[in-house]
Chains A and B, each alone.
Chain A
Amino acid sequence: MQPFALNYARPAVELAVATPYAYDSGLQLNVLGDGRIAACDHALLREVGTTTSTAGSKTHFDD
């Protein structure tokens, strides 16, 4: 028998969108292909959802 709460579990949904930025260790920031700083593009952040409170994270549950 499994714990009661797991009766309500559902498959974790992984982010389907590949992030269009990469970390630049010199800047200590993630940058887009054209060199712009990803964090300054709020429309992009909204689209990729990487700043969003989620559930099912493998490493963090302080969302």
Chain B
Amino acid sequence: MTVLILTGEEDVTADMVVVHLNGSGVPVVRLDPADLTDGVSLSAEYVHGRFRGHLSAGGRLVSINGLRSVWVRRPGAPAGHAPHPSAWLTEEASQALYGMLRGCDARWMNHPDAARQARHKPWQLRLAQRCGLPVPATVITTFPRAAREFAERFPDLVVKPVSGAHPQDPPRAVPTSRVAPDTDFSAVAFGPTLLQRRIAKRADIRLTVVGETLLAARKAVRPDADPEEVDVRFAAPGSPWEPVEVPARTADAVRAYLRRAELAYGAFDFAEDADGTWWFLECNQSGQFGFVEVETGQPIARTIADWLSRPIPEEPVKLDEAGSTVR
């Protein structure tokens, strides 16, 4: 049984997992859906009540029914690299590929439906609340007045994109940024705006969850850190990431979160305050993990490889009233 990895060629983080799969002798087929029709091929038949499907890439051929797991890592838009790409072709290729894969029994990391839902940050905040994780006071609004009133209640605020996406025309990044108390909020009317109470953090926490396995790393905020830089992705290199134990209550809540989100993988970001409380910021369903493993030595790639390598659970056998097997 084969592990199918959907990602781009340049994804060296996926390589970290492929190395372990190779070491375990688990067959791997890696392809980028963007290469469909130009390096990647597919075919499937639905005939006489049976399904037979195949994928081909890099000289490898794999049966869809021979897949044990599918890792949706960083796939490109289907047929995006085709000689004549178009939105129509991408939709056709997407429906063909993911439609075929959805029909197989392989385990997903993560299933596309769960992944799509999990990307919604407002949904993440509500699910985190429901699972008992501390969530900083947050407002998402297009009412300038609501933003002003929120700022009066919580004067120390940050703003961040609702989607986590960044504008591309021209390419810009929108880091989590502090908002001055006397800010003019009138522009809130021109787009949904997410304002959140700033957590005076003493560390950033990245908690990577693979199945039931939790691997947490902590990056302490240096005493001389610029208080205006609240987004760890933009802050100057500071303390190293170090392994840290996960508090039992947080572990239970995080596992509940992934269970309810139907995710096999999630990378949680927390801000640790002066009391040691971990405040939930977000859960990235395909978050990077290589930088944590490189700094901490935590076996994240091996844990992912082990999860992907597990056999498909056998369908439970049911017996009818006469004792015959029912499938």
Contact = CB atoms under 8 A, between A and B. Distances in A.
A49 B233 CA distance: 12
B194 interface: yes
B286 A5 contact: no
B132 interface: no
Classify the secondary structure of A's interface with B: loop
Interface in A31-49: 37-40, 42, 45-46, 49
Nearest to A53: B288
A7 B288 CA distance: 27
A30 B12 contact: yes
Contact of B187 (A4, A25, A37, A58): A4
Given A2-B190, A28-B28, A58 B294 contact: no
Interface residues of B, number: 62
B18 to A, nearest CB: 6
A30 B15 CA distance: 7
A25 B12 contact: no
Interface residues of A, number: 44
Interface stretch (B86-94, B160-168, B245-253): B160-168
A19 to B, nearest CB: 7
B139 to A, nearest CB: 12
A1 B187 CA distance: 7
B10 A30 contact: yes
Contacts of B312: none
B286 A51 contact: no
A4 B158 CA distance: 12
B295 interface: yes
Given A2-B187, A25-B58, A11 B173 contact: yes
B172 interface: yes
Contact of B12 (A13, A21, A58, A63): A21
A51 B288 contact: yes
A26 B173 CA distance: 36
Given A3-B191, A4-B187, A5-B194, A55 B15 contact: no
B238 to A, nearest CB: 14
Contact of A4 (B167, B190, B231, B291): B190
Specify which of A11, A51, A54 lies most central, judged by the most chain B CB atoms within 10 Å of its CB. Answer: A51
A49 B295 CA distance: 12
A8 to B, nearest CB: 4
Interface in B274-303: 284-291, 293-295
B74 interface: yes
Interface string B64-77: 00000000001011
A45 B174 contact: no
Interface of A: 1-14, 19, 21, 23, 25-26, 28-30, 37-40, 42, 45-46, 49-63
Interface of B: 9-10, 12-13, 15-16, 18-19, 28-30, 57-59, 74, 76-77, 119, 147, 159-168, 170-175, 177, 185-194, 206, 231-234, 284-291, 293-295
Given A9-B166, A28-B58, A42-B293, 19 more contacts: A3-B193, A4-B185, A4-B188, A5-B160, A21-B12, A23-B9, A23-B10, A25-B59, A29-B15, A29-B18, A45-B291, A51-B290, A52-B288, A52-B290, A57-B166, A61-B163, A62-B164, A62-B285, A63-B284
8 contacts: A8-B177, A9-B167, A10-B173, A30-B9, A39-B18, A51-B288, A56-B172, A63-B233
The 5 closest A-B pairs by CB, nearest first: A51-B290, A3-B191, A56-B173, A39-B15, A62-B286
